[in-house]
Amino acid sequence: MHVAPKALAHVVYRTRRLADMLEWYGTVFGAGVQHQNPAMTFMTFDDEHHRFAFLDLSVIDPEGSEPETSGWVGVDHLAWTQASLDDLFGLYAHCKASGIEPYWCVHHGVTISMYYADPDGNQMEFQVNAFDSDDECNAYISGPPFDANPVGVEFDPEDWLAAVRDGASLDDFRVRATDEPVSPIRGAVSSLL
């Protein structure tokens, strides 16, 4: 069964001009900073925990080893919100049956996310909020738990589905139980915090 997302959630950018980007998105969208650390900044203009995130390449890649012409600067990924964990796993099952699997499954703390790449390599995140309300999500992203690990802890969707077959509920996995280990896929970002 195909499960379409309910909304576009956010866009993540890679930039070498963080201050200019924050000013531009603040001016154009009226967005304010929700969370900032040396490598990443999260902004929103509404009740969503973040609509934009920026990866600061001047911190992540200070030597400029990745040329701007290589596509390193620009959109990192688009994120789509699913209505529920059941819908996220329904999409996972639908895609897997067609030979399409996520390259990264991670519990960010604020969201539970599965990342896919289209045939051109464009990255798509499909996510579900880990909390029931916008207020809870905003408190999490602005607080100490997100500081502990803003990147996330990887998970295997097949492990979660096996637990469900053994009587668990997908909702049992909504709140991240641990901040470790930090995902190695985005570990370069985490090591800069």
Mind listing the pLDDT tens digit for each residue in 23-40? 988 998 889 999 999 889
Pick the CATH number of 7-190 from 2.40.160.10, 3.40.309.10, 3.40.50.10140, 3.10.180.10: 3.10.180.10
The H or E element that residue 138 is part of is helix 134-141
Q: Per-residue pLDDT for 67 more than 70?
A: no
Report the pLDDT value the prediction gives residue 58, as an integer from 0 to 100: 85
Q: What pTM, to 2 d.p., does this model score? A: 0.80
pLDDT band at residue 119 under the 50/70/90 scheme: confident
With H, G, I as helix, E, B as strand and everything else as coil, classify residue 145: helix
Over range 82-105, report the average pLDDT. Answer: 94
86: Cα separation from own chain's centroid: 18
Q: Residue 28: what residue type?
A: V
Cα–Cα distance for residue pair 20/169, rounded to 1 Å: 44
With H, G, I as helix, E, B as strand and everything else as coil, classify residue 109: coil
Q: DSSP letter at 112?
A: E
Every domain of the chain and the residues it spans = 7-190
Report the pLDDT value the prediction gives residue 106, as an integer from 0 to 100: 96
